[in-house]
Amino acid sequence: MNKKMLDILACPIDKHFPLEMYELESKDQVVVEGSLYCANCERFYPIIEEIPIMLPDELRDKNQDIAFLEKHKNSLPQKIIKDAKPWHL
């Protein structure tokens, strides 16, 4: 995900802007792996292989979310790891 996209992305659920971004791996201006976080509704959206996965709850792959959180539990903020809303898990 190009970092400049953060200037235009809003939460697909509540339209909150701006989102918080946590970079786990990046190359120049591209986030390869990381997370977007909506402080308003407390949802997180993983960035996997440069793609932000910003789907509504009913379309999210819960196994993918769990695997992402487990893989990055030591790198992401606790508000994402511990306080992920139940609709995510």
Chain centroid offset of residue 59 CA: 15
Q: What's the pLDDT band for 82 if we cut at 50, 70, 90?
A: confident
pLDDT digits (tens, 9 = 90+) for 8-19: 999 999 999 999
The verdict on residue 76 lying in a domain is yes
- The total number of structural domains that make up the chain: 1
What tokens does 67 get?
């695997």
Residue type, 55: L
The verdict on residue 86 lying in a domain is no
The whole domain housing 51 covers: 3-81
What's the order of all strands across the beta sheet hosting 20-27? 20-27, 30-37, 44-48, 51-52
The verdict on residue 24 lying in a domain is yes
The verdict on residue 88 lying in a domain is no
Q: Please state, rounded to an integer, the average pLDDT across all residues of the chain.
A: 92
62-to-13, 33, 58, 78, 84 alpha-carbon distances in Å: 17, 18, 9, 19, 12
Query: What's the pTM?
Result: 0.89
The verdict on residue 87 lying in a domain is no
The verdict on residue 11 lying in a domain is yes
> Running DSSP on this structure, what letter comes out for residue 17?
S
Q: What's the pLDDT band for 83 if we cut at 50, 70, 90?
A: low
